[in-house]
């Protein structure tokens, strides 16, 4: 064996060992690398097989041995470029579907089979013999049409990988460039070398590619160790994607669901991986039930509140944004961010309720009365429509508290509020004004009509005592009424003041009666 051949074999073996170490390294740390590790491991394994089989082929002394090791090389070699492309695709965040993977592996498998059966058809190599001038293990080949298919496919894979990396380089921060440059070099080196081999500028009878695959692996290794190539970007993306508590769903340009995160899975138990690839209008009812209208994803950005009744009523905030590679490029898909706002909404409702309703009687409080009454009062003034207020106060309520206890007093307050609520008509506003005093605003009613209503209420309160702890408590109340006058300056407060004076007159007059302001 001449010394040049020994050097070749040593270099190719080193290349094979480097790929073996790299395969083992990534395999042992695969949990760190997420789903991109698989393609990477398969790619380096393919290169490793290629290198070792080539090293063995360089020890061949017969044509049969050369042929055998050539076929062995093909168990790895044709697969390395498409697996490299699949690795780049997953590294850059593209989804690898079963079909994409299978499509890329068809031609390599065809190359392997046609090389193995070349003796029958000679379509892969027109000639494959021992190089007469150099002797074994150097070969002499004349390529056939199927070899050209294999070569072209290999270059398409290389060029596609380089193209994708270059595109990404344009869009990423310069701190990520060393990773991408390392990957570009790792592809350029074998591509350049095989090109030189094909145009015949490398030493005859020798395939130089396995030797340089070691360098290419070294670049990737350096990138992994120095810039944590495999880990940092995709893992960070995956971690962020899955750590978001909100549901995140990604749709492609044709509005088919392509990915969703763990947050989404825990929000909707009907969601499962079999729905991936389904269009939005099929997925939407599984998430939110049939009644919520399906949004249009092509609209720029939108925010919706969606009420779902399945299985229990829940309220979601759904934010939809277009996905674009850069601000000016067209939409590539959409992302939907779903937040369960049921608790927030309930809390908001509770707070609103606390702010506007009296805790004991659950009727409007004083603030709600003024908030709601100001507008009706103003429109009554403006449109010259009758407007009457009634203030009423439970008589000798202190005695109820003193005789039966504070809790019994509370029961009386609740009873009186409910009686009044039951008699309310449209255009009447009723609120607890404070203590044992209540207020009514009657839109479109005169003082006389108010008097009729108040008299009816007074009689009901008097006629319906309250049963507390087995004892009947008799309750009466006094009413003061005031109607809006022609005076354009009169305020709601002044009107209430007049009603209060009327109420005071009713108390002075002996209680359990109704008084109209200025008429008692
Ligand atoms: P009058 O006929 O003149 O209205 O006599 P009164 O005893 O009803 O009037 P007064 O204003 O002297 O007493 C009102 C009482 O109402 C005093 C207060 O302790 C009681 N009160 C106020 N708010 C509540 C409440 O939420 N629950 C109970 N149980 N009592 C209350
Ligand atoms: Mg009172
Ligand atoms: Mg009072």
435 Cβ below 6 A of ligand 1: yes
Q: Which amino acid residue places its CA nearest to atom 12 of ligand 1?
A: 398
Instruction: Give the Å distance between the CA of 31 and the centre of ligand 3.
Output: 74
397 Cβ below 6 A of ligand 1: yes
What one-character-per-residue DSSP string does 287-333 give?
A: HH-SSSPPP-TTSSSEEEEEEE-SSS-EEEEEEEEEE-SSTTSPP-E
pLDDT in tens, 33-67: 666 788 889 999 999 999 999 999 999 999 999 99
507 Cβ below 6 A of ligand 1: yes
Higher pLDDT, 333 or 231: 333
> For 220-276, what is the HEC assignment?
HHHHHHHHCCCCHHHHHHHHHHHHCCCEEEEEECCCEEEEECHHHHHHCCCCCHHHC
Q: Which amino acid residue places its CA nearest to atom 31 of ligand 1?
A: 435
Task: Give the separation between CA 220 and CA 415, rounded to whole angstroms.
Answer: 81
CB 419 within 8 A of CB 460: yes
Give Cα 111 to chain centroid, integer Å: 43
Task: Give the separation between CA 175 and CA 98, rounded to whole angstroms.
Answer: 33
Q: Among 200-204, 311-315, 431-435, where is mean pLDDT lowest?
A: 200-204
Looking at the chain, the whole-number percentage of residues with pLDDT higher than 90 is: 63
CB 368 within 8 A of CB 431: yes
CB 112 within 8 A of CB 74: yes
Q: What is the mean pLDDT of residues 262-286?
A: 89
Q: What is the mean pLDDT of residues 210-233?
A: 73
Name the average pLDDT for the chain.
90
- Ligand 1 atom closest to 395 (CA): 2
395 Cβ below 6 A of ligand 1: yes
The token duo for 449 is: 């009509």
Q: Which amino acid residue places its CA nearest to atom 19 of ligand 1?
A: 398
Instruction: Give the Å distance between the CA of 10 and the centre of ligand 2.
Output: 108
All domains in the chain, ordered by first residue: 3-226 (1.20.1070.10), 244-346 (3.30.450.20), 357-516 (3.30.70.270)
Farthest CA pair distance, the chain:
136
pTM of the model: 0.53
Q: Is the dihedral of CA 14, 17, 21, 22 positive or negative?
A: positive
In this structure, the strands spanning 333-340 and 247-252 are antiparallel
Q: Which amino acid residue places its CA nearest to atom 4 of ligand 1?
A: 395
Instruction: Give the Å distance between the CA of 398 and the centre of ligand 1.
Output: 5
What pLDDT score was predicted for residue 437?
98
DSSP-based three-state secondary structure for 363? coil
Looking at the chain, the whole-number percentage of residues with pLDDT higher than 70 is: 94
Question: What residues sit around ligand 3, an ion, with C-beta below 5 angstroms?
Answer: 393, 437
Instruction: Give the Å distance between the CA of 464 and the centre of ligand 1.
Output: 19
Q: Which amino acid residue places its CA nearest to atom 23 of ligand 1?
A: 435
Instruction: Give the Å distance between the CA of 413 and the centre of ligand 1.
Output: 10
- DSSP H helical segments within 464-510, as ranges? 492-508
Instruction: Give the Å distance between the CA of 438 and the centre of ligand 3.
Output: 9
Site to probe by mutation for ligand 1, drawn from 363, 365, 398, 515 as the one with most ligand atoms within 8 Å of Cβ, is 398
- Ligand 1 atom closest to 511 (CA): 2
413 Cβ below 6 A of ligand 1: yes
Instruction: Give the Å distance between the CA of 393 and the centre of ligand 3.
Output: 6
340 Cβ below 6 A of ligand 1: no
The token duo for 88 is: 């780049």
- Say which ligand is closest to the CA of 415: 1
Instruction: Give the Å distance between the CA of 446 and the centre of ligand 2.
Output: 25
Residue 470 has pLDDT above 80, yes or no: yes
Higher pLDDT, 274 or 402: 402
CB 314 within 8 A of CB 342: yes
Rg (Cα) of the chain, in Å, rounded?
43
pLDDT in tens, 167-190: 877 766 666 677 788 889 998 999
CA dihedral 506, 509, 510, 515 (to 10 degrees): -30
pLDDT band at 160 (very low <50, low <70, confident <90, very high): very high
> For 365-395, what is the HEC assignment?
CHHHHHHHHHHHHHHHHHHCCCEEEEEEEEC
Phi, psi (degrees; rounded to nearest 5) at 103 = -60, -40
DSSP-based three-state secondary structure for 501? helix
DSSP-based three-state secondary structure for 159? helix
Task: Give the separation between CA 462 and CA 392, rounded to whole angstroms.
Answer: 13
360 Cβ below 6 A of ligand 1: yes
407 Cβ below 6 A of ligand 1: no
Task: Give the separation between CA 307 and CA 291, rounded to whole angstroms.
Answer: 9
Task: Give the separation between CA 105 and CA 113, rounded to whole angstroms.
Answer: 12
Other C-beta atoms lying within 10 Å of the C-beta of residue 7? 11
- Ligand 1 atom closest to 407 (CA): 29
Strand ranges for 86-221 from DSSP E: 125-130, 139-143
């Amino acid at each position: 064996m001449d010394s040049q051949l020994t050097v070749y074999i040593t270099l190719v073996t080193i290349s094979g060992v480097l790929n073996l170490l790299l395969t083992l390294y990534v395999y042992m740390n695969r949990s760190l690398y997420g789903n991109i590790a698989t393609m990477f491991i398969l790619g380096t394994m393919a290169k490793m097989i290629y290198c070792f089989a080539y090293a063995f082929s360089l020890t061949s002394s017969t044509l049969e041995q050369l042929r055998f090791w050539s076929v062995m090389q093909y168990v790895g070699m044709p697969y390395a470029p498409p697996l490299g492309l699949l690795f780049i695709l997953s590294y850059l965040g593209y989804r690898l579907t079963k079909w994409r993977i299978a499509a890329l592996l068809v031609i390599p498998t065809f190359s392997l089979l046609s090389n193995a059966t070349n003796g029958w058809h000679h379509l892969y190599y027109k000639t494959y013999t021992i190089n007469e001038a150099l002797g074994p293990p150097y070969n002499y080949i004349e390529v056939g049409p199927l070899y050209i298919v294999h070569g072209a496919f290999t270059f398409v894979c290389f060029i596609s990988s380089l193209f994708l990396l270059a595109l990404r380089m344009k869009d990423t921060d310069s701190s990520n460039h060393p990773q991408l440059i390392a990957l570009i070099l790792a592809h350029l080196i074998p591509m350049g070398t095989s090109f030189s081999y094909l145009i015949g500028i490398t030493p005859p009878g020798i395939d130089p590619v396995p030797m340089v695959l070691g360098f290419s692996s070294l670049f990737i290794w350096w990138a992994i160790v120095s810039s944590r190539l495999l880990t940092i970007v995709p893992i960070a993306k995956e971690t962020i994607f899955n750590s978001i508590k909100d549901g995140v769903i990604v749709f492609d340009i044709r509005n088919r669901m392509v990915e969703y995160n763990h947050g989404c899975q825990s929000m909707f138990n009907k969601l499962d991986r079999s729905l991936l690839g389904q269009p939005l209008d099929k997925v939407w009812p599984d998430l939110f039930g049939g009644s919520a209208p399906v949004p249009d994803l092509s609209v720029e950005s939108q925010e919706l509140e969606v009420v779902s009744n399945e299985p229990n009523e829940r309220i979601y905030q759904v934010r939809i944004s277009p996905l674009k590679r850069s601000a000016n490029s067209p939409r590539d898909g959409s992302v939907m961010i779903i937040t369960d706002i049921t608790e927030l909404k309930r809390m908001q409702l509770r707070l609103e309720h606390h702010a506007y309703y009296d805790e004991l009687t659950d009727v409007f409080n004083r603030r709600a009365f003024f908030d709601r009454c100001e507008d009706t009062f103003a429109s009554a003034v403006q449109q010259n429509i009758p407007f009457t207020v009634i203030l009423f106060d439970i008589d000798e309520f202190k005695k109820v508290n003193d005789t039966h206890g504070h809790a019994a007093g509370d029961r009386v307050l609740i009873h009186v509020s409910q009686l009044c609520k039951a008699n309310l008509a449209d255009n009447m506003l009723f609120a607890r004004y404070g203590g044992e005093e209540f207020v009514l605003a009657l839109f479109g009613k005169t003082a006389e009509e108010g008097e009729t209503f108040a008299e009816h209420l007074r009689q009901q309160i008097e006629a319906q005592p309250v049963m507390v702890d087995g004892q009947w408590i008799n309750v009466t109340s006094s009413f003061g009424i005031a109607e809006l006058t022609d005076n354009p300056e009169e305020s709601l407060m002044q009107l209430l003041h007049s009603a209060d004076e009327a109420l005071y007159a009713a108390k002075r007059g002996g209680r359990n009666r109704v008084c109209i302001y200025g008429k008692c």
